[in-house]
Amino acid sequence: MRGVWLTGLALMLWSAGVRADNPARAPRLATFVCDITPPLGHPLIAGWLPEARRIDDPLQARGVILLGDGPPVVLCALDWCALGNDAYADWQKAVAQAVGTAPDRVALQCLHQHDAPMVDLEASRLLEGAGAPPMFDRKFYERARRQTAAAARAALARARPVTHVGMGRARVERVATNRRVLRPDGTAFNRSKPTDPGSDGPEGVIDPWLRTLSLWDGDRPVAALHYYAVHPISYYGEGSVSSEFVGLARQKFQDEYPDVFSIYFTGCAGNINAAKYNDWTHERRPELRDRVSQAMAAAWGATKRERLTGWRWRVEPVRLPPRDAPAFRADACRAIIADPKQRLAKRGRAALCLAWLARIERPISLTCLDLGPALVIHLPGEPFVEYQLEAQRLRPDAFVCVAGYGDYGPMYVPTDRAYREGGYELTVAHAGPGEALLTAALARLLQARPSP
C-alpha cells in the first residue's frame, strides 16, 4: 500500500507542476541497463526449444526515462522473446512504482529472438496445473523484474538535461524479406530460407529503413534509439542464448559510441524475416549483424537535430475481437492443455490462447511518445509491417518510429486481408480481424491530419 500511495502522490505532484518551459521542468533523460540473462537450464521460448545450454552473449533490459513534462515515461527494450498478459502488467507496475508514474506510461517491448525466455504467468499456471513443465522459472523472472525496476529507480539520480531531438535514417541492405508468399489460389505460405519456394522473388512489402531517434544535451548526444522491422533470427534451437544479430549490432554501435546510450527496438515484423539472405548457418549471424550496424552508423551520420521543448504521452486502449474459429475457443484450448499426448509446444500455445481469452475484455493499450518533430508508436504482439507503414503514411510530416512486441497477449496481429489468405501467422493469432480498430487508434495517437 505504501508503494501505491507514493505513486499516487508522485502523480499528483507532477500534474500540479508548472509548465515545461520553466527551467525546473525542462526535459531530462535518465538511462538504465541491467542483466536479464537466464541461468543455464532455463526454458527457452516457453520450453518449446532446448533449454539454455550456453550463453553466447548476455541479455539485457535497456531503458530510458523521460522527465519534466508530466509524470515520467519509460521506454524499455527487453532481450527476451515475449512478455504477455498478466506478466506484462506485472512488469509495468513494478517499473512504474520504481520511478513514480502510472503503469500505462511504461512501454515494454521485447526483441523477440527465439533462444530467450517467453513469460506469461497465467499460461504457465495453466500448464503446471495440467502436469506440464512451467514455461519459465518464477524465481528468475521475479529477480529480473525486481532488478529492472531497481535499475530504473537508481537512474533517476543520474538524469541529464536534454535540449534537442535527433532524427536519422538509413536503408538496411540485404536483410528484411516479407515472408508471406501467395500461391496461385490466393492462399499464403511462409518462406524462411533462400531455397524455399518464392525466395528467388522480390523482398516484398517491407520497411527497408532503420530509424535512429536520438536525444541530446546541447551538442552532446545522450541516447540513441534504433528501430527496424525484421524477425531477429539467424538460427535458433541449439540452446545458445543470444540477443541475436540485432542485439549484437546494438552492442557494436555502443562500442563505437561509448558515450551514447544505445537501445534497439524491433518494429512491426510479424510478417518480416530474412528469408532471402539467411540460410540458418552460423556464418550468417555476423553478416546480418554487420548490415544492421552499418545502417545504424549511417543513420547516425545522417542525423538532423531540432530543439526539444517538451513531450507528450498518449494512450489508446483497444478491445480486440476474439477469433471466430473452433481452435481458439476456451473448451478446445482446455482439452489440448489437459492432453499429455500433445506436444508441449501445442499445449503451450493453447495455454497462451486461454490466458488471452481470460483477459480479452481488458483493453490492450497502444501508446505514443510525441516529441514534436518525432513520434514513437508502441504496439502489442507481433504486428504486420503494414501497420508500421500506415503509421508513417498518417504523419508524412513527422519522423515516425514504431516498436512492436509489447504486450504479447494477442500474439500475431495480422491485417484483415491476411485472415482470408491464411498462412502460419493465422494459426497463432489470438484476436480476430481488427485492422479498422487499430488504424483508427493509430490516427488518434498520431493526431493525423485529415486528408485534403
pTM of the full predicted structure? 0.94
Q: Read off the pLDDT of each residue in 13-31 and give the average, rounded to a whole number.
A: 58
Is pLDDT above 50 for 202?
yes
The C-alpha atoms of residue 38 and residue 121 are separated, in whole angstroms, by 17
Is the pLDDT score of 24 beyond 80?
Answer: no
Q: Which pLDDT tens digit goes with each residue over 163-196?
A: 999 999 999 999 999 999 999 999 999 999 999 9
Strands (E), 79-187: 82-83, 106-110, 118-119, 160-161, 164-171, 177-178, 180-182
CA dihedral 364, 45, 57, 36 (to 10 degrees): 50
Q: What pLDDT is attached to residue 198?
A: 85
Query: Quick one: average pLDDT of 3-21?
Result: 39
Judged against a pLDDT cut of 50, whether residue 365 lies above it is answered with yes
Residue 399: predicted pLDDT: 98
288 vs 249: CA distance, rounded Å:
9
* Per-residue pLDDT, 238: 96
Q: Is the pLDDT of residue 21 over 50?
A: no
Contact between residue 67 and residue 29 where contact means Cβ atoms under 8 Å apart: yes
What is the residue-wise DSSP string for 329-395? Answer: SHHHHHHHHH-TTS-HHHHHHHHHHHHHHHHTTS-EEEEEEE-SSEEEEE--SEE-HHHHHHHHHH-
Residue 33 and residue 58 in contact, taking contact as beta carbons nearer than 8 Å: no
The 3-state secondary structure of 24-44 reads HHCCEEEEEEEECCCCCCCCE
Enter the C-alpha cell of residue 21.
518551459
Question: Strands, DSSP E only, in 384-432?
Answer: 399-403, 412-413
For 378-407, the pLDDT digits (tens) are 999 999 999 999 999 999 999 999 999 999
In what helix (H) or strand (E) does residue 205 lie, and over which residues does it extend? none
Q: How far apart are CA 32 and CA 82, in angstroms?
A: 20
User: Is the separation of the CB atoms in 32 and 17 below 8 Å?
Assistant: no
Q: Give the H/E segment covering residue 322.
A: none
Residue 449 pLDDT grade (very low, low, confident, very high; cuts 50, 70, 90): confident
The separation between the first and the last C-alpha atoms of the chain, rounded to the nearest angstrom, is 52
Mean pLDDT of all residues in 336-347: 96
* pLDDT score at 450: 58
Measure the CA–CA gap between 116 and 107, rounded to whole angstroms: 20
Q: Please, which residues bridge with residue 54 across strands? A: 240
Residue where the block lists cell 541492405? 173
Residue 110's pLDDT is 98
* pLDDT value for 14: 40
Structural contact between residues 111 and 76, judged by C-beta atoms closer than 8 angstroms:
no
Q: What is the pLDDT of residue 8?
A: 47
User: Alpha-carbon distance 242 to 240, whole Å?
Assistant: 6
Ordered by start, the domain boundaries in the chain are: 2-446
How many CA atoms lie within 13 Å of 210's alpha carbon, on the beta-carbon side? Answer: 31
Query: Which is higher by pLDDT, 20 or 357?
Result: 357
**Does the structure show a pLDDT above 90 at 272?**
yes
> In whole angstroms, what is the distance from residue 240 CA to residue 238 CA?
5
Report the 10 Å Cβ neighbour count for 153.
17
pLDDT tens digits along 211-265: 999 999 999 999 999 999 999 999 999 999 999 999 999 999 999 999 999 999 9
> Average pLDDT for residues 146-153, to the nearest whole number?
98
Q: What percent of the chain clears pLDDT 90, i.e. is strictly above it?
A: 91
Q: Is the pLDDT reported for residue 3 higher than 70?
A: no
Q: Is the pLDDT of residue 7 over 90?
A: no
Q: What grid cell was written down for 300?
A: 547516425
User: What is the rounded CA–CA span in Å between residue 336 and residue 344?
Assistant: 10
What's the sign of the alpha-carbon dihedral 371, 64, 107, 153? negative
| Averaged pLDDT of the chain | 93
| β-pair type (220-228, 188-190) | unpaired
Residue 224 · residue 252 · CB < 8 Å: no
Residue located via cell numbers 503509421:
391
For residue range 81-134, list pLDDT tens digits in order.
999 999 999 999 999 999 999 999 999 999 999 999 999 999 999 999 999 999
* SS3 at position 57: coil
Helix/strand/coil percentages in the chain, nearest 5: 35, 25, 40
C-alpha cell at 429: 493469432
Res 1: pLDDT: 43
Read off the pLDDT band of 139 (50, 70, 90): very high
pLDDT, tens digit (0-9, with 9 covering 90-100), for 307-331:
998 999 999 999 999 999 999 999 9
